[in-house]
Every structure is written in structure tokens, then in C-alpha cells.
Amino acid sequence: MSNVPSELQYTKEHEWVRIDGNSAVVGITEHAQRELGDVVFVELPDVGKSFEVGESFGNVESVKAVSEIYAPLSGEIIEINNEVVDSPELVNEDPYGDGWLVKFSFTTAPSGLLSADAYQEYLNDEANK
Amino acid sequence: MKQTPLNARHRALGARMVEFGGWDMPVQYAGIIAEHKATREGAGLFDISHMARFWVTGPDSERFIQLIDTFDISKTAIGQSDYGIMCYEDGGIVDDIFTYHLGPDEWMVVANAGNAEKDWAWLNQHTAGYDVVLTDRSQELAMLALQGPKAESLLAPLTNADVVNLAFHGITKATVEGAAGYISRTGYTGEDGFELFLPAGEIERIWDRLLEVGATPIGLGARDSLRFEPGLALYGHEIERDINPYEAKLGWVVKLDKGPFIGSEALQDIKANGPARTLVGLEMTGRGIARQGYPVVALDGSELGVVTTGMPSPSLGKNLAYALVKAGSLKIGAEVDVLIREKPVRASVVKTPFYKARYKK
């Protein structure tokens, strides 16, 4: 059973979103980091860049694989986690805390995100496939 | 998907399973880096039952292997084995193989899982005029690799074979925990170690016992990083249908003086003219990890070649890669760019292999 904090929102691409006013912190979920294995490289966009929902905004790499990370909402990057760039293992160690990736600002409120319950249900469905 | 006799064991150990060459295989248990280090420092246990084990028997068995193998196995004594390559007529590679000389007119050929059907067909296609019998024993015999500096001391008490004195690339009949099969001093990690060929029906018990005495289970992820560092080729990466042995720096496996074999004429020409491409080692000096298929370009942007395997090296702590580039284009120390998602990232050409194998010879 994966850790899915109830105060966060989620995508089917296994990202989490913490909305606070007009900004949103984004990372990858406990499930995603476990599937990836040891994260050895994180590539994040420059602050000031804008992305549409669903657009790839960076990459998380394990020893074996490269995984793109997709914008869970449309907005502008206002902060990136430089610590995770220097110490990619933070994504494994603390995916919902020190392993956060970027902070977006947005003008239109994001839609289509999953609640913790809905995401957990999605994980269960995937596991039973 | 096909399953090895240890499938339930992998799942019980919490392995992450992936499809590999048509098989449901463990890619990792505890994590690739931890498993890699456990093998370099202790003893790693690998389920490699997905690989193919073909028996070649009959009065023409040696002559037949000489036909399909680029290596000269006439000097491979009973109880010894050698690395070899099967080539197409044009010098492209069907597969890389290990040929084990088990007894008079009895050989075992071990080949890659993903190529098993193709190889089986290839072998059967060339038996005309040879008094040989081919038998696929991949199902009845499971295959384990026990690799690392502690492999010998873990295995010795569990077998009747004198593994301490088993020669490098040697193979002997053996019982392990009472199950009868073979043990060879071969592997794919750059460490000392063994491969075990034992009855599929008894392999769970032997797997459990090896873990109990201190071996660490290793998945395909670390199997790849362990073979990558000492520069052992992997089919689909450094070797392929459209890559010949000279390009892959495997010219030492091609014995043109042994007489004609499949591909020998083409290989003679390639050797005489020099291969068009060559394999080089790259160390990323810019920030990024080179991956298979990424283009390698000169600093002026002109094309040089392509990455065959790239990853962060767990033993060396560097981002390393092998690339197949235009022959003669790059010397040690030369700088190139690897295009990582279209972005040039600097790398320098370094000596290979990246890691010096520690075989017991």
C-alpha cells in the first residue's frame, strides 16, 4: 500500500500537487519513486518558463530509465528545488517533502486533478490489471 | 509471458517485474545501486534461467560449432568453455554465445533469451551434412549465476565439486545440495563467480539455500550495470544484426585462420579494409546521462555516431557510455557532445573498459 497524503491532489502520471492560493508545488508520488528505483538525475526547467497542462517540463532519471514529468496544470515556474538537482536521492527519501520538484503560479484554477481517494483507487485498479 | 521456475520466489521477495525478451523477469529487488555493490563486494545471485541452453552432440559436434562460431573451439578442452559469436554471411551478428565442452562429442551452447528462437532456428538451418543432434534443454535445466568475491566461499560447502580449483571458464559435473548438474566458472559481471546448471524442479530449494548462506538476489537492472562497467557486450546494444565483431571491438573472438565458417569471407574483407565504425568509451563532463540511441556529434555539430549503452556507473560514480562512432574519428581525450533530448552535453573520450575485471585465473 502506497503512502497517499489526503491533503494533496494527484494526476494519473503519478504527480502530486499542493495548492496554496495562486501557486502550486509539484512532485512525484511515493508510488512513482518506488517504480523508478534509485533516482540519479533530475532535470528541471528554468524559473520563468510557462507550461500548458500535460506538457513535459522536466525529467527524472533512474539508473536504467528516463521518465518525463508532465505539468499537472497550466502556469509559470516560479521556483525550482535546487537541492533535489544536487541530491536526486531526495526524491526517493522524501517524495512529498524535501523531494518536491517545482512551484507553479497559475491564473486559472487547475481542473481535473484527482483527490487522494481517487488516486488511491487508480493505483489499486492499476495493480489489479 | 514466459516464467522461469523461480518466478514465485522473485515475487515473494518483492521484486519489481518487467518483460524482458518475452520473459517475466525481476529488474530489481532492493535497488539497482545496492544490488550492484553487493555483487562487487560480496556475492550476488541471479536467476538467468531465461537464457537458452542448447546441447550439441554427435560425431560432428565440434566441426558443427566451428561452422557457426567465429571462435576456434578446437583448443577448448573437455571441461573448458569459451566466448564466441555467431555471424551472418555478411558479418553481422546473430548472437553472442558461450560454448561449453562437456564431454566427448558433447557441447552446451548458452545464448541470449531474446534471441533463443532465432538462434535455435539458425542452428537447425545449418546441420545439413553434419552428424549432430541438437537438443533444447532450456526448460529442464534452470540456470543461476553466483557472482562476486564471496561466491567461491559461499558455494564451496554446498557442492561436491572442487570449485576452489575450478579453472577460469572451466565447467564440471557437480551436485549442489544434492541436485545434479554442472557448475562453470563463468559470468557476466567482471567479478569472479560461477554459473550453475541444475534441474528446474529443484532450483527453488537451491535458490533459497544460497540466499540463506548470504548471497544477495540481483535483478536485470544491476546485471546490466555490472556487465557495462567491465565492457561486456550486450546484444541489442553493442552488438546487433547490423554491427560486426570488429566494430564492437570483438575482433579477438574472430579466428580467421581456423578455416571457413559462416561469415568468414565477409569478416576477412572487413578486417582487411578496417571497420567503418568503432566502439569508444565516453565520460560525461557536462550535466546529463547518455542513453542508448542518443546521437554523438563533434563540437562543430557534425555527426559521429550513436550511444549504445549509457548510465551512471555505480562503482565509479561517473556518468559513462559506450558509443559506436566513425572509425578513426576520436582519440582518447577528445571532446564530443552527446545530444540529450536535442541539447548538446559535453563528454570526453576515455579508455575502456571502465572497470577492470577481477577474475580468478
Which residues in chain B touch residue A63, judged by CB atoms under 8 angstroms apart? 32-33, 221, 225, 311-312, 314
The pLDDT, as a whole number, for residue A128 is 82
SS (H, E, C) B234-286: CECCCEECCECCCCCCCHHHCCHHHCCCCCHHHHHHHHHHCCCEEEEEEEECC
Whole-angstrom Cα distance, residue A3 to residue A50?
Answer: 30
Cβ(B43)–Cβ(B148) under 8 Å? yes
Quick one: cell of B299? 563540437
Nearest residue of A to residue B309 by CA position?
A64
Cβ(B136)–Cβ(B52) under 8 Å? yes
- The amino acid present at B347, given as its one-letter code, is A
Do A63 and B32 count as a contact with CB atoms less than 8 A apart?
Answer: yes
Residue B48: φ, ψ to 5°: -120, 30
Given a cut of 90, whether residue B361 has pLDDT beyond it is no
Given a cut of 90, whether residue A127 has pLDDT beyond it is no
Of B16, B221, B288, the CB nearest to A63: B221
3-class state of residue A118 by DSSP: helix
Confidence band, pLDDT 50/70/90 cuts, at residue A1: low
3-class state of residue B233 by DSSP: coil
Q: What is the mean pLDDT of residues B63-92?
A: 98
Of A35, A40, A66, the CB nearest to B291: A66
Nearest residue of A to residue B314 by CA position?
A63
Of B28, B312, B341, the CB nearest to A40: B312
Express each pLDDT in B227-276 by its tens digit: 999 999 999 999 999 999 999 999 999 999 999 999 999 999 999 999 99
Q: What is the mean pLDDT of residues B48-60?
A: 98
Question: How many Å lie between the alpha carbon of A22 and the closest alpha carbon of chain B?
Answer: 31
Given a cut of 80, whether residue A104 has pLDDT beyond it is yes
Express each pLDDT in A12-37 by its tens digit: 999 999 999 999 999 999 999 999 99
Cβ(B37)–Cβ(B314) under 8 Å? yes
Question: How many Å lie between the alpha carbon of B311 and the closest alpha carbon of chain A?
Answer: 6
ipTM score of the complex?
A: 0.87
Whole-angstrom Cα distance, residue B180 to residue B271?
Answer: 44
The pLDDT, as a whole number, for residue A126 is 87
Nearest residue of B to residue A59 by CA position?
B341
Q: What is the mean pLDDT of residues B343-352?
A: 98
Whole-angstrom Cα distance, residue B35 to residue B79?
Answer: 31
Express each pLDDT in A30-72 by its tens digit: 999 999 999 999 999 999 999 999 999 999 999 989 999 999 9
B311/A contact by beta carbon, under 8 A: yes
The pLDDT, as a whole number, for residue A2 is 79
Do A43 and B16 count as a contact with CB atoms less than 8 A apart?
Answer: no
Question: How many Å lie between the alpha carbon of B64 and the closest alpha carbon of chain A?
Answer: 38
CA dihedral B289, B290, B296, B298 (to 10 degrees): 20
The pLDDT, as a whole number, for residue B272 is 98
Neighbours of B11 (CB within 10 A): 13
Express each pLDDT in B219-232 by its tens digit: 999 999 999 999 99
Q: What is the mean pLDDT of residues B91-120?
A: 98
Quick one: cell of B177? 545440495
Bridge partners for B44 per DSSP: B147, B216
* Residues 6 or more apart whose Cβ sits within 8 Å of residue B291: A66, B307, B310, B311, B340
The pLDDT, as a whole number, for residue B357 is 97
Nearest residue of B to residue A40 by CA position?
B312
Given a cut of 90, whether residue B145 has pLDDT beyond it is yes
How far from the centroid of its chain's Cα atoms is residue B9's Cα? 24
Express each pLDDT in B277-316 by its tens digit: 999 999 999 999 999 999 999 999 999 999 999 999 999 9
